[in-house]
A and B are shown apart, each in its own frame.
Chain A
């Protein structure tokens, strides 16, 4: 098992390197020159723009710029923001906790709601409960989060006055963004739990379990659900990446601090070092989550072995 984990981690390194190349080239394909952008509103003459470009190292050939980035990376340095001149590591450290708080709480919400609704849908298949739960799920998948966010703000903040419309600092501030962000994933997970559980319930060992007189809750939770969970775990891992991406919209709408908002700004203004740093970090988190998912398989199904 530990061998497996070490190998998986090592495989991540070339993937991450490839990723930096992709991000680096993509950022250069987006039109716009950071030096011009920085000076666009200050009426600077062309020679000032040229000097700034030199100071920022943007006049160097692309491969030199990339090698410089790698060199810095090898020294644990992600470079400085072109705009604020602050270190990227500091920017990440300031914003990561807030984003993780949001993404993790949304993930927990998605898993809990997804499990409850999915099990309900499967157990009461084709009854009104099933129909209700699955209708909610379709609605959840279909509604874009920025729109749900505005609806929630108008209903819960302005109309009912229960929850703050934006900002952060207290648990109440977390509720709306968490629900808006987790809602969609909860719907995806609920549908999957339902279909996967229905499949398992049709299998013979479930009939056997029932035949030997086990109570329905035990059949369901101990025998059926465990096997039904394997595809769910896979999708939950993928959903975590989706949630990290979703923080972009949620953080903007709810005026929360976070990496998503910083990343969007950095992409819009072509603040390359910041984009690189955040993409790298999110990729690492995503890879770790997927590794965790793979390890969890063995936990759920002892028949699975790693070589």
Chain B
């Protein structure tokens, strides 16, 4: 009888011993030992904290070479929904995979196409057919040669219904088929004019994957073994979904795009890149400061402002292309079905105040449905809606909304109440609270509900909102039809305008940019004159990194880093 208690105590102690013993990952290096490279990054705030720590998981038996491998640790934010660029629509997947997959062409920040895997290209007059001359002697990471047949197989995979592509398929537009003209010439045909195809072809979602690999692994398994032609290889052994992505240098790489995309020739400088996810914004700066990562994406603005003062860190702010952070104003749902009410909202919003208070001026004010760095941005819109609360009040008076007892305007016994939905990302809650206070001053009540992403999508699709704040990313101005075409996938202003539809269809079929861009500018002007959206700020990707990281640039979207030229100082 008496030993029983001690048996139980023993069981507990053994359990503890087991858990503690099982706790450490394979590398059971004594934690007390002197700073070994296999240990976790040394969390010291003191001088010289992070000298490019070696792999934490240290599987590499090849480490016989005297030189320490150059490894970059990169902190990602939103956990990706999946990592196959042909299938998934996550924007985070492009951060690591832009370095794994090369694209046929690349788009520079001034919207010029430069050669990628294609050394030259041409389109027929009505933009229904694009011919690409491919680079020779390009090999996928598994040794499969890259050629015209590979391009055909890639496009066939994306457009196959069984692939259930979420984004790439939309980028393929009215795709018809692909012809292999010869070993290094390929022609892609469309059922109707599709001038935006070059823009699509520059997207990581249409990155070229090894046909041998995706045929071998099948639709759902390929994402665990990704094989491209890029400057870095996907290390499948170390891939842990939603947790870790590891890339290693492709020593054979010598077919990169020209400057300003990639600025040297031959293999990349870094040996390895390790991506980890940090979903909690509050701890991102801490993980950079303790050296767990050398680059951290999407830092909260207040942390970015603080780290900016510190010489050990550098802050890169990149304005993203496409729609800024905008609130879609529902043109079908009262009271925002009244143009005067929508215009009053635009005059009554102090966007400069919001940007200054919440984003510490790290993010510029937005003036239209298309951000200032995007192709075809219409600068003339900046003068349209200055902050003018008196004008806003006058417009509401004209629309018949008179001040009520508590300051909120009333018309026919109804209060001027607008419904909005806040999501928890991008400081939308804080921005919306400020907006609430500003609109109250002109007598508008903004009622907000905090919701998760699916509920916001549903409310937006069903049109339950008056205001719906959102951010999207794109480079080709034909994307404006996603926002404002009556059939657009994100037409959350519920625009039903024949003029807009006609103009958007016409612009989307026009190959000559000198003709299509004025049309897109007309659409932007229409959107603002009709007050379809309330622009708030140009979305800015705030990245913080150790001062030792050199040569990191971002693609034209503003989201995807180019790691090829990155060097790490010792």
Contact = CB atoms under 8 A, between A and B. Distances in A.
> Do A and B come from the same complex?
yes
B12 A111 contact: yes
Interface in A39-66: 39-46, 48-49, 51-52, 55-56
B125 interface: no
Contact of A163 (B15, B43, B282): B43
A124 interface: no
B44 interface: yes
Contact of A300 (B4, B45, B166, B461): B4
Contact of A269 (B19, B164, B453): B453
Interface string B229-258: 000000000001111100000000000000
Name, among A37, A157, A162, A170, the residue most crowded by chain B CB atoms within 10 Å (CB to CB). Answer: A170
Contacts of B277: 255
A273 interface: no
A60 B89 CA distance: 24
B241 A94 contact: yes
A158 interface: yes
Contacts of B452: 30, 32, 268
A268 B453 contact: yes
B458 A222 contact: no
B286 A158 contact: yes
B79 interface: yes
Interface string A161-185: 1111111111111100000000000
A158 B289 contact: yes
B20 interface: yes
B292 interface: yes
Nearest to A52: B164
A80 B280 CA distance: 27
B419 interface: no
B459 interface: yes
* Max count, chain B CB within 10 A of own CB: residue among A34, A37, A42, A222: A42
A249 to B, nearest CB: 9
A261 to B, nearest CB: 7
B167 A42 contact: yes
A56 B164 CA distance: 9
Contacts of A39: 89, 166, 489
Contact of A101 (B22, B91, B164, B283): B22
Pick the most buried of B57, B82, B87, B459: most chain A CB atoms within 10 A of its CB. Answer: B82
Interface in A244-289: 252-255, 257, 261-262, 265, 268-270
Interface string B30-66: 0100000001110111100000000011000000000
Given A42-B167, A91-B241, A255-B287, A164 B79 contact: no
Contact of B40 (A49, A52, A112, A170): A170
B19 A108 contact: yes
Contact of B25 (A168, A253, A269): A168
B81 interface: yes
A84 B81 contact: yes
Interface residues of A, number: 75
Given A161-B43, A168-B25, A299 B454 contact: no
B40 A265 contact: no
Interface string B8-19: 100010011001
B314 interface: no
B88 interface: yes
A255 B23 contact: no
A76 interface: no
Nearest to A163: B43
B292 A45 contact: no
B454 A30 contact: yes
B511 interface: no
A85 interface: yes
Given A41-B89, A169-B27, A157 B453 contact: no
Contacts of B459: 31
Contacts of A41: 89, 91, 167, 472-473
B169 to A, nearest CB: 7
A225 B9 CA distance: 12
B15 A253 contact: no
A302 interface: yes
Q: Which secondary structure dominates chain B's binding surface?
A: loop
A8 interface: no
A33 interface: yes
A105 interface: yes
B487 A46 contact: yes
Given A43-B479, A48-B169, A166 B292 contact: yes
A19 B12 CA distance: 31
B393 interface: no
A108 B16 contact: yes
A105 B12 CA distance: 11
A238 interface: no
B286 A165 contact: yes
B16 A112 contact: yes
A36 B461 CA distance: 9
Interface string A235-249: 000000000000000
B121 interface: no
A164 B490 CA distance: 42
B219 interface: yes
A68 interface: no
A78 interface: no
B220 A80 contact: yes
Given A37-B453, A255-B287, A165 B292 contact: yes
Contact of B276 (A157, A167, A270): A167
B134 to A, nearest CB: 27
Contacts of A225: 5
B457 A171 contact: no
Given A42-B166, A85-B219, A226 B292 contact: no
Which 10 pairs of residues, A with B, have the shortest CB-CB distance?
A32-B454, A43-B482, A84-B82, A42-B167, A257-B243, A83-B81, A31-B455, A85-B220, A165-B286, A108-B16
Given A30-B454, A108-B15, 14 more contacts: A31-B455, A32-B458, A43-B482, A55-B161, A84-B88, A84-B223, A85-B223, A164-B40, A166-B287, A167-B292, A168-B25, A174-B24, A255-B277, A269-B453
21 contacts: A31-B451, A32-B458, A38-B166, A41-B91, A42-B489, A44-B169, A49-B489, A94-B240, A153-B283, A158-B45, A159-B45, A161-B43, A164-B43, A165-B43, A166-B283, A168-B25, A169-B56, A170-B24, A170-B39, A222-B2, A261-B79
